Amino acid sequence: MVTWAFSKSSAMKHFLLLLLCISTVKSLSDYDEEEESAHKSQVDARSHRPVDRRREPIPTLRPAPPPITGGGYRARPSQPLSVQQKKLERKAPDAGGCLHADPDMGALCPTGCVLQDTLVKQERTVKANVKDLGTEVDSFSQRTSSNFQYMRILKDMWTKRQKQILDNENAVNGFSSELEKHELYIQETVNTHIPNNLQVLRSILENLRSKIQKLESDVSAQMDYCRNPCTVSCSIPVVSGKECEEIIRKGGDTSEMYLIHPDGFVKPYKVYCDMKTENGGWTVIQNRQDGSVDFGRKWDAYKNGFGNIASNEDIKKYCGLPGEYWLGNDKISQLTKMGPTELLIEMEDWKGDKVKAHYGGFTVQNEGNKYQISVSKYRGTAGNALMDGASQLVGENRTMTIHNGMYFSTYDRDNDGWITSDSSKQCSKEDGGGWWYNRCHSANPNGRYYWGGHYTWDMAKHGTDDGVVWMNWKGSWYSLKKMSMKIRPFFPQQ
């Protein structure tokens, strides 16, 4: 048994040696090949020359000589027992608790070792997994920490929100109390003040209604009064004459309405005589004082005269108050042509200031000569508008406002100095009355009557200075309160 075991062991040993040799040779061979391969790839390429098959013949193999036979080594002696026993007593390394029946034949109990190897092999994977788990645990821990921080932030926010809600509630309560105050105030206002104001407004309305009713009744009374032509019953003085100067020389020394009879070719007519101003004897040919008469009239009205000569005072029976009127161009012409005549123009502004313009010579031609005017010998305080034109203007602008020598014009008879093919361009149309217009005026005694004096272009009908104007005293945009023209036969004053 032992011999067999030995022989068997020896045979196995030789087999192993053979395998070792084969393995070594094979290993060497493999190494050489690897070396050669590495050499091929790494050494200079000039050591290898490929064949050019078109020029060189392919090399042929030569036969090898037979191997040597006979003789050789003697048989190898057997190994000592002690060595074999030592080998039997040799224990295999304890690898995972496994027992080996024959240590030279390998392991008989592979389970523990395989398990160990398996475990060792799995250890890397498990380690990697454990590492991954650790990473995940760290990440989770970080996330948990983040969540915790987030929760803390949320908690802080919640606390702040609750404080804000509390503050808002306080503010709302404050506003509510303010609103209650305002509501109370509004209720008081609605219940108390508005009724009081309404009562005041109602009383004002009632007052206005009563005033309107009174005005309506006054208007109605005036309409009834004016339904019939206004008649003045004045006792005309018995004394008469060719004109007022002759009447005063005959004893008529009160200023009132008289009947005059200039010559035998015309009927006697009424006129107002001023027997006080500058020694009296003045025949009033024009008078403005209250705007009661419209002076925007046609040629024939100016030719024959219009307006109210005079009126009586409440108690007195004679007509001592002059009215607004234009005596008439025919009468004026006839009076001035009887002999040398002087002209007195008096005017008064709305403050009561008075000025006058006196012309020592004054003549008006007849209708055939378009009632051409001529004046001379100015003296006075109003400024010589009729002869010199408007003192505010210079050169041609001033001379075209001179009235001396001009024909008489009305809005239906254009004889002015404004020569134009446009028939609408007429001084009388634009300036409101009949007058000796040039282009157009410095004085406009028959213009439109404006209460208060000052007026503006947008108040005027044509945007022109159409008021009762004497430019040399008050300028273009002031309409005088009073304006009168009186004539008297010229005679040397004593």
Place of tokens 């991954």: 132
Contact stretch for Ca ion (CB under 5 A) within 20-28, 243-251, 392-400, 413-421: 413-421
The contacts of residue 172 (CB under 8 Å, 6+ apart) are none
| Complex with Ca ion: residue 329 or 428, whichever CB lies closer | 428
In whole angstroms, how close is the CB of 408 to Ca ion at the nearest point? 13
Binding mask 259-298 for Ca ion (x = CB under 5 A): ----------------------------------------
Is residue 391 within 8 A of residue 383, CB to CB? The reply is yes
| Complex with Ca ion: residue 416 or 430, whichever CB lies closer | 416
Contact stretch for Ca ion (CB under 5 A) within 69-77, 341-349, 412-420, 445-453: 412-420
Binding mask 155-184 for Ca ion (x = CB under 5 A): ------------------------------
| Complex with Ca ion: residue 245 or 414, whichever CB lies closer | 414
Binding mask 455-494 for Ca ion (x = CB under 5 A): ----------------------------------------
Number of residues in contact with Ca ion under rule CB under 5 A: 3
Is residue 343 within 8 A of residue 332, CB to CB? The reply is no
- Nearest alpha-carbon partner for 438 in 448, 446, 447, 427: 427
In whole angstroms, how close is the CB of 419 to Ca ion at the nearest point? 6
Contact stretch for Ca ion (CB under 5 A) within 17-25, 118-126, 178-186, 414-422: 414-422
| Complex with Ca ion: residue 400 or 459, whichever CB lies closer | 400
Is residue 427 within 8 A of residue 392, CB to CB? The reply is no
In whole angstroms, how close is the CB of 416 to Ca ion at the nearest point? 5
Place of tokens 């007849």: 366
CA distance 347 to 326: 16
Which residue(s) pair with 486 in the sheet? Answer: 284, 344
Question: With the CA atoms of 336, 262, 468 and 376 taken in that order, what torsion angle do they form, in degrees rounded to the nearest 10?
Answer: 20
Render the burial of 240-251: b for 16+ CB within 10 Å, e for the rest.
bbbbbbbbbeee
| Complex with Ca ion: residue 256 or 416, whichever CB lies closer | 416
Q: Does 318 bind Ca ion (CB under 5 A)?
A: no
Number of H helices, E strands in the chain: 11, 13
CA distance 263 to 152: 128
In whole angstroms, how close is the CB of 439 to Ca ion at the nearest point? 8
CA distance 337 to 487: 12
| Complex with Ca ion: residue 273 or 440, whichever CB lies closer | 440
Sign of CA dihedral 42, 46, 51, 57: negative
- Nearest alpha-carbon partner for 338 in 395, 266, 427, 278: 266
| Complex with Ca ion: residue 418 or 477, whichever CB lies closer | 418
For residue 277, the tally of other CB atoms under 10 A from its CB is: 16
Among 318, 350, 418, 477, contact with Ca ion (rule: CB under 5 A): 418
Among 324, 342, 414, 466, contact with Ca ion (rule: CB under 5 A): 414
In whole angstroms, how close is the CB of 485 to Ca ion at the nearest point? 24
Q: Residue type for 337, please? A: K
CA distance 29 to 53: 30
In whole angstroms, how close is the CB of 421 to Ca ion at the nearest point? 10
| Complex with Ca ion: residue 141 or 420, whichever CB lies closer | 420
- Element at 331 (helix H, strand E): helix 329-336
SS3 content of the chain, % helix, strand, coil (to 5): 45, 15, 40
Binding residues for Ca ion restricted to 72-111, rule: CB under 5 A: none
Binding residues for Ca ion restricted to 205-264, rule: CB under 5 A: none
In whole angstroms, how close is the CB of 417 to Ca ion at the nearest point? 7
| Complex with Ca ion: residue 103 or 405, whichever CB lies closer | 405
**Residue 326 phi/psi, 5° resolution?**
-120, 120
- Nearest alpha-carbon partner for 488 in 242, 239, 306, 311: 242
Among 246, 342, 416, 431, contact with Ca ion (rule: CB under 5 A): 416
Q: Cβ-closest residue to Ca ion?
A: 418
| Complex with Ca ion: residue 411 or 449, whichever CB lies closer | 411
Contact stretch for Ca ion (CB under 5 A) within 180-188, 226-234, 418-426, 465-473: 418-426
Binding site for Ca ion (CB under 5 A): 414, 416, 418
